[in-house]
């Protein structure tokens, strides 16, 4: 019923045209001069029309005059009950001519709650019908909005029964809303989530709105403070739109909505805030207009957002579209039943009550389907995780077995290689001066042994890197002296050109730093053209935040070509053109991993004729 109140300023229902009993007949018509401030004398002469012949209503803040013509068929006079609803009609003045004098009875939501006239859901006035005669009663109804109200006439003796039926309907509605509110609270306490939290506040707003709109709060809490009740009801009515949107947004929390969607929602919230502020200033014309804009724009925003939000599963998208379309259709039907001439009291009132009950159930249905889909996704993810864990466990076992195999092989191969190296050394002494050809063979054997020993060392080092067994032990290093000392043990030293800054001092692990430089220098010598120059630079780079020690090793591009920068630091990577050159494919991989252990990095730079490797390590001045 709140939707009717929103559009019509308060509640909208039809004016009863005829009585159900043969004792009298009733004709209700409306003054065509809508919005005019008329006295009772002017209202008597006004042109009255049936409801369906009135011009289209506009939002206004002016009274409406209604004429109730009662033709009595009974030979005896009897009292009648004129009932007007809903509760939130600002002021109602009933004029009755008694002994050629006009008497007035007044009631309304802006007046203190009067048990003589006020009832839950509306107001009742007692008038007197003359025997076998016709009599006109005039109502002056002052309510903002479309100036429509529910009016019916019955015998006074039957009015209490009809009031009881009306109160029973409101009690069922309040009870249903209270049950949904309790369910939402229990569900949130059992499983806290954003959607159910917002749904709880929506249901609380619906319940408070219904309690205020039916007059319960005015009767039991704000008896002498009708203005408080009026502000409270209209504020809850405005906030209701914001609550609906707030709940709707919760369905999109896990998804990336279009950029315009949150901006549109914020605009709706701003309009609701403006309406709430206008209520405190008793603005009766602009507020319904703004709220109507909000009501009509919200469904469009939600539906377009559902269609444009990516990554929504097709089934959930269809579910949301169906649910929101059903809820929006019910709201629009409620407005149509209320405004169009064929709208009837029973259809408008009860349809509005059903909408207030069904729409929350629609949201709960969407929520339940969403939870079911999320549970299904969770089960799938759980199954995938089990499979991944099993695969990881299997790979972990393989990794451990590989580590054990490499440790065993490195241990078992080192001893024979050491023995062979010693034997070759002894043989070299005996044949050095006798047979040059044999001496050259022994040198090749010694070179092969060194290559095998390097491969074994790198495999062992790779194994330790994979097992996270390495940690840096820093000590002070003078870069110039360290590199000079290192180059003494490298063949083809004459090909190396140095450009070293003697003032560079830093802290690092000397063993790891030696491995990094040795691998890069040997690669530069190995893969560059014979007799070409390999350049090594050492300098310190400073900026506003920190400083770094940089070592740049560059060489000309050889016959093996330029490495692929995307995979150059992958283990076992070798350029296809370099397959004839001895190598394990582990050197650059180890350089990258060790630089990370040292807190630095290594970069590969390819120029047209030059290959560069830049090592950057943290600098600490001493």
Query: How far is Cα of residue 117 from the mean position of the Cα atoms in its chain?
Result: 50
Domain 475-618 sits in CATH at 3.30.565.10
Cβ contacts of 56 within 8 Å, gap of 6 or more: none
Is the model's pLDDT at 491 over the cut of 70?
yes
What is the pLDDT at residue 12? 33
Return the structure tokens found at 383: 């199954």
pTM for the predicted model, two decimal places: 0.59
Measured between alpha carbons, how far is residue 6 from residues 74, 88, 223 in Å?
41, 11, 23
What is the pLDDT at residue 185? 93
Backbone phi, psi, residue 350, to 5°: -70, -35
| Opening angle at CA 397, ends 393 and 401, nearest 5 | 170
CA distance 569 to 559: 20
100-107 mean pLDDT: 90
HSE-CB for 155 with a 13 A CA cutoff = 13
Measured between alpha carbons, how far is residue 508 from residues 298, 540, 599, 600 in Å?
64, 14, 9, 10
- Alpha-carbon dihedral sign for residues 285, 286, 287, 293: positive
Burial of 145 (0-12, 13-18, 19+ CB in 10 A): buried
Which tens digit of pLDDT belongs to each residue from 177-192? 899 999 999 989 998 9
Helix orientation angle between 286-308 and 226-250, rounded to the nearest 10 degrees: 10
Which tens digit of pLDDT belongs to each residue from 119-170? 888 889 988 887 777 889 999 988 755 446 778 888 887 767 767 777 787 8
What is the pLDDT at residue 1? 40
SS3 554: strand
Query: How far is Cα of residue 440 from the mean position of the Cα atoms in its chain?
Result: 75
Is the model's pLDDT at 21 over the cut of 60?
no
Burial of 86 (0-12, 13-18, 19+ CB in 10 A): buried
**In which residue ranges of the chain is CATH 1.10.287 found?**
397-466
Q: Confidence band (pLDDT; 50, 70, 90) for 330?
A: confident
CA distance 46 to 26: 19
Which tens digit of pLDDT belongs to each residue from 478-490? 888 888 888 887 7
Q: Are 509 and 475 in contact (CB under 8 A)?
A: yes
Helical segments of 432-536, H only: 436-466, 479-487, 510-527
**In which residue ranges of the chain is CATH 3.30.565.10 found?**
475-618
What is the pLDDT at residue 414? 60
Q: Confidence band (pLDDT; 50, 70, 90) for 172?
A: confident
Backbone phi, psi, residue 504, to 5°: -80, 120
CA distance 594 to 513: 8
What is the pLDDT at residue 293? 85
**In which residue ranges of the chain is CATH 1.20.1070.10 found?**
165-384
Q: Confidence band (pLDDT; 50, 70, 90) for 280?
A: confident
* Structural domain 13-160, CATH architecture: Sandwich (2.60)
Structure-derived torsion over alpha carbons of residues 180, 182, 183, 184, reported in degrees to the nearest 10: 90
CA distance 494 to 534: 9
HSE-CB for 38 with a 13 A CA cutoff = 23
Highest mean pLDDT among 275-279, 391-395, 469-473: 275-279
Q: Which fold has domain 165-384?
A: Rhopdopsin 7-helix transmembrane proteins (1.20.1070)
Q: What percent of the chain has pLDDT over 70?
A: 75
CA distance 5 to 15: 16
CA distance 90 to 287: 15
Domain 397-466 sits in CATH at 1.10.287
Residue 262: closest CA among 248, 273, 272: 248
Q: Are 601 and 616 in contact (CB under 8 A)?
A: yes
Least confident range from 190-194, 274-278, 374-378: namely: 374-378
């Amino acid at each position: 019923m709140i939707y009717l109140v929103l559009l019509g300023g308060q509640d909208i229902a039809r004016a009863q045209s005829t009585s159900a009993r043969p004792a009298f007949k009733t004709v209700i018509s409306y003054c065509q001069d809508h919005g005019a401030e008329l006295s009772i004398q002017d209202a008597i002469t006004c042109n009255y029309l049936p409801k369906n012949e009135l011009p289209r209503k506009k939002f206004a803040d002016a009274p409406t005059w209604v004429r109730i013509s009662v033709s009595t068929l009974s030979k005896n006079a009897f009292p009648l009950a004129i009932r007007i609803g809903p509760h939130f009609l600002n002021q109602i003045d009933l004029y009755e001519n008694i002994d050629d004098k006009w008497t007035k009875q007044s009631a309304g939501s802006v007046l203190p709650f009067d048990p003589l006239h006020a009832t839950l859901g509306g107001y009742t006035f007692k008038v007197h019908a003359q025997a076998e005669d016709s009599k006109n009663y005039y109502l002056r109804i002052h309510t903002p909005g479309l100036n429509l109200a529910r009016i019916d006439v019955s015998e006074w003796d039957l009015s209490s029964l009809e009031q009881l039926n009306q109160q029973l309907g409101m009690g069922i509605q309040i009870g249903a809303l209270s049950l949904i509110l309790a369910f939402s609270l229990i569900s949130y306490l059992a499983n806290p989530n954003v959607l159910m939290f917002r749904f709880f506040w929506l249901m609380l707003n619906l319940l408070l709105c219904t309690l205020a709109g039916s007059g319960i709060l005015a009767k039991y809490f704000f008896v002498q403070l009708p203005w408080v009740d009026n502000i409270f009801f209209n504020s809850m009515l405005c906030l209701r739109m914001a609550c609906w949107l707030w709940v709707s947004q919760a369905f999109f929390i896990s998804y990336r909505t279009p950029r315009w969607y949150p901006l549109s929602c914020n605009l709706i919230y701003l309009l609701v805030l403006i309406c709430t502020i206008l209520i405190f200033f008793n603005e009766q014309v602009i507020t319904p207009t703004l709220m109507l804009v909000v009501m009509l724009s919200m469904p469009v925003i939600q539906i377009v957002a559902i269609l444009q939000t990516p990554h929504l599963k097709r089934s959930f998208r269809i579910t949301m579209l169906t649910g929101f379309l059903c809820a929006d259709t019910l709201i629009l039907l409620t407005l149509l039943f209320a405004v169009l001439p064929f709208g009837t009291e029973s259809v408008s009132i009860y349809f509005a009550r059903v909408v207030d009950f069904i729409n929350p159930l629609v949201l709960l249905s969407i929520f339940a389907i969403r939870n079911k889909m999320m549970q299904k996704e969770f089960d799938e993810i759980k199954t995938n995780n089990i499979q991944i864990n099993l695969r990881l466990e299997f790979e972990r076992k393989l990794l451990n077995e590989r580590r054990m195999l490499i440790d065993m092989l490195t241990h078992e191969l080192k001893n024979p290689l050491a023995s062979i190296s010693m034997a070759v050394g002894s043989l070299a002494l005996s044949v050095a001066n006798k047979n040059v050809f044999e001496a050259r063979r022994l040198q090749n054997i010694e070179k092969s042994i060194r290559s095998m020993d390097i491969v074994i060392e790198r495999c062992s080092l790779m194994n330790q890197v994979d097992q996270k067994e390495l940690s840096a032990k820093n000590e002070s290093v003078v870069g110039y002296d360290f590199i000079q000392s290192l180059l003494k043990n490298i063949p083809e030293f004459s090909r190396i050109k140095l450009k070293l800054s003697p003032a560079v001092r830093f802290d690092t692990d000397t063993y790891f730093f030696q491995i990094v430089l040795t691998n890069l220098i040997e690669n530069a010598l190995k893969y560059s053209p014979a007799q070409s120059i390999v350049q090594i630079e050492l300098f310190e780079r400073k900026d506003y935040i920190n400083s770094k020690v940089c070592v740049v090793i560059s060489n000309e591009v050889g016959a093996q070509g330029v490495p692929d920068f995307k995979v150059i630091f992958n283990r076992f990577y070798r350029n296809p053109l370099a397959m004839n050159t001895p190598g394990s494919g582990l050197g650059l991989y180890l350089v990258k991993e060790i630089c990370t252990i040292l807190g630095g990095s290594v970069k590969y730079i390819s120029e047209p004729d030059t290959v560069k490797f830049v090592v950057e390590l943290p600098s600490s001045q001493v």
